[in-house]
Amino acid sequence: MNTKLLLGATAGLMAAAGLVLQFAPHEVLAAAGYPASGPAPLVLQLLGALYLGFAALNWLSKGVRMGGIYARPLAVGNLLHAFAGAGALLRYAAQAPTGARVGAWAVAAAYTLGAALFGAALVVSPLPERD
């Protein structure tokens, strides 16, 4: 498995989501149909900071040998994020309003794929390094 590609792709997606949440929380809330008042914008900015932190972790670790016992904390952290996110998103997508249903299923599918790939990276031993 090419974990360098996996970590790079997830880093890019998380960085994009993190930047949007960090710098445009009011716009995200408005697009979702929620009032941008109270602690909601702050919560979205904190979520954006979490995504940016995970993006930096994945980007800076993409050259690390991953699989089996190597980089286990990195694989477990990403697996838990993707697995919990997939569960929540699948539950939401099943009852999403008609206008948001396609997008919800797409994001849920991406999280499910991420959970499967990070699960495989956790348990499959890495290939020997080539000269």
3-class DSSP string for 34-71: CCCCCCHHHHHHHHHHHHHHHHHHHHHHCCCCCECCEC
- Give me the mean pLDDT over the 10-27 stretch: 97
- Give me the mean pLDDT over the 53-70 stretch: 90
Q: What confidence score (pLDDT) does residue 129 get?
A: 65
Q: What confidence score (pLDDT) does residue 130 get?
A: 66
**8-17, 46-55, 91-100, 119-128: which has the minimum mean pLDDT?**
119-128
Look up the pTM and report it.
Answer: 0.88
**63-72, 88-97, 113-122: which has the minimum mean pLDDT?**
63-72
Rounded Cα distance between 20 and 16, Å, is 6
